[in-house]
């Protein structure tokens, strides 16, 4: 479960930088992205398994992407206490490289359509398959 949360956070970051026209598209991705769930299928397709919040009465789990290439993943426990993890990101083509300390994760941008972003995360280094997560940009 912990790895899934890390993967989803990284996924959110990846979506932020997936469009062409780097400056304009990066700017439209800056902000808060609420995790919607994980796609159950292959290659970014399938039905959406909703994200399970620790407490549905708390603020939604989300990832915030900043213009200075920093980001934070915010998750809430059953008491609505926030736990925040910080990381940096950079875009390399259709890939987002997320870094926190000595750990680096590669995310593949599957699509960005309006306020919906889908990203694929490798669960293990050099894995061929990816887990796809869906995020919704908040106003």
Residue 134, C-beta contacts closer than 8 angstroms, at least 6 positions apart: 35, 36, 37, 38, 39, 48, 116, 117, 118
Per-residue pLDDT reduced to its tens digit, 79-133: 999 999 999 988 777 777 889 999 888 888 898 888 998 999 888 877 888 999 9
Among positive and negative, which fits the CA dihedral 26, 43, 51, 100? negative
Domains defined for the chain, CATH in brackets: 2-137 (2.40.128.280)
pLDDT reported for residue 30 = 84
Per-residue pLDDT reduced to its tens digit, 5-38: 544 444 444 444 343 455 655 676 789 999 999 9
Residue 70, token pair as written in the block: 């920093």
Give CA–CA dist 46/32, Å, rounded.
24
Instruction: Say if residues 89 and 66 touch (Cβ distance below 8 Å).
Output: no
pLDDT reported for residue 17 = 39
Give CA–CA dist 95/58, Å, rounded.
32
């Amino acid at each position: 479960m912990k790895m899934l949360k890390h993967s989803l956070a990284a996924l959110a970051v990846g979506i932020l930088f997936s469009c062409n026209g780097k400056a304009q598209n990066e700017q439209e991705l800056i902000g808060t992205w609420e995790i919607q769930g994980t796609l159950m299928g292959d290659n970014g397709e399938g039905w959406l398994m909703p994200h399970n919040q620790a407490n549905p009465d708390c603020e939604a789990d989300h990832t915030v992407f900043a213009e200075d290439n920093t980001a934070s993943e915010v998750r809430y426990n059953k008491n609505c206490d926030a736990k925040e993890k910080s990381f940096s990101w950079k875009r390399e083509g259709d890939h987002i490289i997320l870094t926190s300390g000595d750990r680096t994760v590669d995310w593949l941008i599957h699509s960005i359509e309006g306020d919906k972003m889908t990203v694929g995360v490798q669960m293990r280094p050099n894995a061929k398959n990816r887990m796809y997560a869906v995020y919704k940009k908040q106003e």
